[in-house]
Structure 1
Amino acid sequence: MDLRQLKYFVAVARERNFTRAAEQLHMAQPPLGRQIQLLEEELGVPLLLRNSRPLRLTEAGRFLFEQAVQVLNRIDQMAAETRRLGLNQQGTLSIGFVPSTLYGGVPILLRKLRQQHPKLDIRLVELSSIQQVEALRTGRIDLGFGRIGANDSAVARIVLREERLVLAMPATTPCTAKPPQPMWLAELADQKLIVYPKNPRPSFADQILALIEGCGVRPAEIIEVNELQTALGLVASEAGVCIIPASATFRADLRYRPIADLQATSPIIMCHRLNDDGWYIASVKKLVDELYRSAPTALGMGFPQFPGAAG
């Protein structure tokens, strides 16, 4: 098996058609078919079901396709990075993120990373937590920051912190205590609850729904929307209330109450490819540790002890 055969196989697997794959590769169809046949003979298993239109992958073919895409992407990245280093150009670090992490300590972390590595080209890619796993596997990103822990044998997860949750309410909600007093999840019974994102799932919405279900709370209605901004806009219009991370309390036209239940937290999770020994992983871990020790409050990393929270 060589890289050329893997490249040919990936083209056929993507196009599900030898003719289109051959055109894409700028080669004749017979030699392409022969290379795929040689690959199957070397592995001792069929990779394609040729009697179907379009072509279908066997289970072995699907596995090889997934692994081959990852290998080829990593080789492309390796070649590009080697050229950059040879030309004394800056390296590239691709980082996936879910939008809510940008309200907490992640932007500070990225600023520090840029300060320490001014020649590093940091590219940010907005992806859901689940999408980050696939992007890591294929080499599209090098690191990911999300809130959902996906069980994947190829991806390592590090919980950077557990962020407290708060309830966002319309500004017209009566509130005499200053600062607002913590509340219990049980107080959400019979209220209209807005959750996000609606897709893709599982998501932060599922975290919230599991949290309130675990407390035996039944809202009067559950409204699902796609984005945090949409959810908070609906709260402002008095369509319901919404549970959000404490770092996302940026709208001045809403009221916020911290949630006292100890389990009312949402993790900030950094993920990377398993066994990846890239320098950036150790560098980011060191920065996180330094930021925890130097400015936990500024990072929104404080863990306030709410009155009665232990009750």
Structure 2
Amino acid sequence: MLDLGQVRCFVAAATELNFRRAAALLNMTQPPLSRQIQLLEHSLGVELFDRVGRTVKLTTEGRIFLIDAARLLNLAEQAESTVRRASKGKTGRVRIGFTGAAGYELIPGLLAVARQELPDIDVVLLELISVAQIEAFYANTIDLGFMRPVSSRQQLDMMLVEEEALVVALPKGHPLCASATIALKQLKDQPFIMHSPVHGKYFYDRLMGIFSSNDVHVHITQYLDQSPTILSMVRAGLGLSILPASAQRFHYDNVEFRHLSDVVAPAEMSMAWRPDQENPAVTAFRLLAIDYFAKQQREGGDHNY
């Protein structure tokens, strides 16, 4: 097996064609350099240099070997750099789960910064509802999650990264569209399209809690999983719904939105991760995300963090 120290001595001498200058380049004296080259020649079973007095020339074998030797040293340097960067979380892979709501602005903004700060980290994106992300953590198929804060049998650390207001979605022409804002009691006995208590558990629990605490009864006509599907049903005139303000970005025809005048219960988005994960790339990405969201809060961006 080749000795990289011997190969390095050979490449320096082959480049300089002068053992004294090559030794100085490697911060060593000439005799040890000559000895290392002799050992390399003995290992290969060929002469790499023609030595005539004080001058040296590469043999045919030496010229051929120089090409691969230089490539070998470059690969060794790249490998050393890669492992050092990996140990600092500068390279590697991070698997990120995110909800549809996080995909509007939160994830694109974060990835734009990560592309600049951590360009060698490979990011794999998986769009998953919150409860599916919990299962993905359990199956070890994601490293970070951007989800609604739901209960989990998997031990997770969570950090709140976004809050957004709740709005009422109404079919165009509904009598409540005449109001600039809507009080919760105005929804009493209205046909209502609710998030699923299974796949939309966060919103289901949150809205049912709001209705119960305000003694408001709504007539639930459908339970659905995703905001776009709920909006399609609202557009068809099958009922009203309460959604996070980001749902307005879908721009559904014949659907209008109104803010609730008497409810201060924002929809929360959290970043989640396993406390026992040891991937340096995940740690580096998570710390970058924490700095990013803190900066967004200081600058008072589009969301209230």
- Give the C-alpha shift of residue 283 in structure 1: 1.1
How many residues are treated as equivalent by the alignment?
217
Cα root mean square deviation, aligned: 2.9
Distance in 1 (CA, whole Å) between partners of 2:243 and 2:80 is 44
> What TM-score results when the alignment is normalised by the length of structure 2?
0.63
1:1-311 → structure 2 map (5 Å cutoff) = 85=82, 90-152=91-153, 154-174=155-175, 181-197=180-196, 199-200=198-199, 202-250=201-249, 251-253=251-253, 254-276=255-277, 278-297=283-302, 300-301=303-304
C-alpha deviation, 1:106, in angstroms? 3.2
Aligned partners of 1:192 and 1:222 also within 8 Å: yes
In the TM superposition, what is the alpha-carbon distance from 1:151 to its structure 2 partner? 4.5
For the 8 Å contact 2:138–2:154, the answer to whether it is kept is no
Q: Which secondary structure state, in structure 2, belongs to the residue aligned with residue 100 of structure 1?
A: coil
| Paired residue secondary structure (2:273) | strand
Q: Could you tell me how far 1:210 is from its partner in structure 2?
A: 2.4
Q: CA deviation at 1:166?
A: 0.3
Structure 1 residue 185 displacement after superposition:
1.5
**Aligned-pair CA distance for 1:88:** 8.7
Residues 158-210 of structure 1: CA deviation (Å, up to 9, x unaligned): 11232110001112235777xx6222222110111112246436342332222
SS in 1 for 2:101: helix
Give the drift of 1:108.
Answer: 1.6
Q: Distance in 2 between the 1:157 and 1:174 partners?
A: 41
TM-score of the aligned structures, taking structure 1 as reference length: 0.61
Q: Structure 1: which 5+ residue stretches go unaligned?
A: 1-81, 303-311
Q: 1:263 to 1:275 in 2, by over 3 A?
A: farther
Aligned AA (1:243)? I
Partners in 1 of 2:172 and 2:304 — Cα distance? 26
Q: Which runs of 5+ in 2 are unaligned?
A: 1-78
Runs in 1 of length 4+ with deviation above 3 angstroms? 82-90, 174-177
Q: Return closer, same or farther for 1:115/1:196 CA change in 2, 3 Å cut-off.
A: farther
Asked if the contact 2:145–2:271 (Cα under 8 Å) also holds between the matched residues in 1, the reply is yes
Distance 1:176 1:221 in 2: 20
Tell me, in whole angstroms, the C-alpha distance in 2 between the residues paired with 1:223 and 1:265.
Answer: 23
Identify which range, 190-199 or 243-252, moves more after superposition: 190-199
Deviation for aligned residue 1:237: 1.1
Q: Among the aligned pairs, what percent are the same residue?
A: 26
The residue matched to 2:165 in structure 1 has which SS?
strand
Rounded to whole Å, the distance in 2 between the matches of 1:96 and 1:140 is: 9
